[in-house]
């Protein structure tokens, strides 16, 4: 690519966006602005100093990484979720804005139920965004975050410290398979389970964008129809959640009816769904029936 040295910040961002657009990157203009800030520590809209050769070289290196379709979150090394920032990188699923709807659903249900110290499990936790979000907004919650991948677990452990330290809060981070961990829990021992499980279909896995293909398949692949984990969790979670307790899932945009049907067949009742920022069904919540 042509050197960006000596260019004004806005022109440098424009050239960066052109390069990323040519490489097929979606949201090239936004990405170019983020890369400029990463390289310079400044917002290009508020900066007027021409790029030095050293600064230009840093920006050019970042542009080349993004043009190779490395996820922007991995390049940044961290990403915002709700009101906090998570460490992120190769080996862990990137936190996404749509998942905030899932966390907000869990938080709202816990507040509605009114228990000052609810017992909460975040299964397939990844970065820990769901469990950590619950803990930040429901500080009395007893939260366990369970993650199977050692690579992802490293980020979970770090985020469990950095996202909560300033508030003097902690969660328990567990390296384990979600199904195995659930099987070891006593009956009626949880008030709420929240999970962003793998839910892409085989067809979707075969057609991933290059960025998503860099993320761990373990966190994406939901089997041929994308529903394998929902079947497992709906069945195994029911006896571990107390009567009246909750189950909150992130789902694919076409999966609401199928996931709700799976949960009802396993014995869950009710069923509400919150939509994401794009208006798509995203957060399904179910309830274990109260004992009579």
Vertex 52 angle, CA 50 and 53, to 5°: 135
**Model's pTM, two decimal places?**
0.95
pLDDT of residue 271: 87
Query: Residue 233 has what pLDDT?
Result: 95
Dihedrals phi, psi of 86, to nearest 5 degrees: -110, 140
SS3 of residue 135 by DSSP: helix
Reading phi first (left if > 0) and then psi (alpha if -120 to 50, else beta), residue 270 is in left
Per-residue pLDDT, 48? 87
CATH 3.40.50.150 for the 78-287 domain, yes or no: yes
pLDDT at res. 291: 74
CA separation for the pair 214, 197 (Å, rounded): 18
Contact (CB, 8 A) for 288 and 268: yes
Beta bridge partners of 247: 193, 286
What is residue 180's predicted lDDT score, i.e. its pLDDT?
Answer: 96
- Residues in the chain, pLDDT under 50: 292
Per the listing, tokens 């969660």 go with 171
What's the rounded Cα separation, in Å, for the pair 43 and 171?
35
pLDDT value of residue 103:
98
């Amino acid at each position: 690519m042509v050197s960006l040295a000596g260019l004004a910040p806005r022109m440098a961002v424009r050239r960066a966006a052109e390069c990323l657009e040519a490489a097929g990157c979606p949201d090239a203009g936004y990405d170019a602005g983020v890369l400029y800030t990463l390289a310079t520590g400044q917002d290009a809209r508020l900066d007027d100093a021409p790029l030095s050769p050293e600064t230009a070289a840093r920006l050019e290196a970042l542009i080349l990484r993004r043009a190779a379709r490395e996820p922007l979150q991995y390049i940044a090394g961290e990403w915002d979720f709700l009101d906090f920032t998570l460490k992120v990188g190769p080996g862990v699923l990137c936190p996404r804005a749509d998942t905030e709807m899932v966390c907000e659903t869990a938080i709202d249900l816990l507040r509605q139920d009114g228990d000052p110290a609810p017992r909460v499990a975040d299964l397939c936790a990844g970065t820990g965004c769901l469990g950590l979000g619950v803990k930040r907004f429901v500080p009395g919650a007893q939260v366990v975050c369970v993650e199977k991948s050692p690579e992802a677990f490293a980020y979970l452990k770090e985020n469990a410290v950095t996202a909560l330290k300033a508030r003097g809060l902690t969660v328990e981070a567990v390296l384990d398979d979600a199904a195995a961990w659930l099987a070891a829990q006593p009956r009626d021992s949880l008030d709420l389970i929240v999970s962003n499980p793998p839910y892409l279909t085989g067809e979707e896995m075969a057609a991933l964008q290059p960025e998503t293909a860099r993320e761990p398949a373990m966190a994406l692949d939901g089997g041929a129809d994308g529903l394998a984990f929902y079947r497992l969790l709906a069945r195994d979670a029911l006896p571990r959640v107390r009567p009246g307790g909750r189950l909150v899932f992130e789902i694919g945009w076409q999966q609401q009816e199928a996931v709700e049907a799976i949960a009802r067949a396993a014995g869950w009742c009710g069923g509400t769904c919150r939509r994401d920022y794009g208006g798509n069904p995203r957060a399904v919540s179910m309830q274990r029936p109260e004992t009579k």
